[in-house]
Amino acid sequence: MYRGDQALRTDVVRELEWDSRVDAATIGVAVSQHVVTLTGRARSYAEKLAAQEAAHRVAGVLDVANDIEVLAAEEMGRTDTELAKGVRQALEWDVMVPDQRIASTISDGCVTLEGTVDLLRECHDAERAVRGLTGVREVHNKLVVETREVDPASVRQAIESALDRHASHEAARIVVEVDDGIVTLSGEVDSWAEKRAVLGLVSHTPGVRAVHDRLTRHS
């Protein structure tokens, strides 16, 4: 059923109000041709991402432009030096992250992660570990998955098997292409949550260095 932009805006606002991670009163919402633009201020980078996820969850939303500004570290009472110590501790305490292979740089609350990891999933886990820290305004993830010799056919088969096990409804509509460790996913999924689940499955596959996401929602 077709939903107009005003109806979508109402639903996005309600979804933001429902999400306990978000202070909806500080976030503006505009919708044009099913594209949502978020503005305003958030107390953390994690809240900014939570607002983005909330907007994507609303049926009928095609794209989200996230223009929310995150409060500066000094506004939150934390210096870059203190934040750097917090980032290091967060990486060290997360058992899923190879912390000794990761270096961070903090400038005005913006965290840059660099180094090498074995799995694409570890890139995502490292970013997840730090993005919720007080004072983080943005995360630049420059972590690189180490290149290894892999058989593209084997990688594709592993991904397709995982999709069959965990997302059988979507698997029939998803095309997997592998070239030198770069996976391209195309086809249709039913929701933003299903899209995230599919991308998450791929990140666990050995030999995958990056993912080109060309998945679209099923209309």
- DSSP per residue, 14-77: HHHHH-TT--GGGEEEEEETTEEEEEEEESSHHHHHHHHHHHHHSTT--EEEE-PEEPPTGGGT
Q: Are 49 and 131 in contact (CB under 8 A)?
A: yes
Place 168 in a pLDDT band, splitting at 50, 70 and 90.
low
- Helix (H), strand (E) counts: the chain: 7, 11
Q: Are strands 35-42 and 110-117 parallel, antiparallel or unpaired?
A: unpaired
* pLDDT for residue 56: 92
Residue 103 CB-half CA count within 13 A:
3
Mean pLDDT for the stretch of residues 8-19: 95
Mean pLDDT for the stretch of residues 118-127: 94
* pLDDT for residue 68: 96
Cα–Cα distance between 219 and 214 in angstroms, integer? 15
Residue ranges and CATH numbers for the domains of the chain are 5-70 (3.30.1340.30), 74-145 (3.30.1340), 152-217 (3.30.1340.30)
Cα–Cα distance between 20 and 168 in angstroms, integer? 31
pLDDT tens for 79-101 read 899 999 999 999 999 999 999 99
Tokens of 64: 């989200």
* pLDDT for residue 98: 95
* pLDDT for residue 189: 81
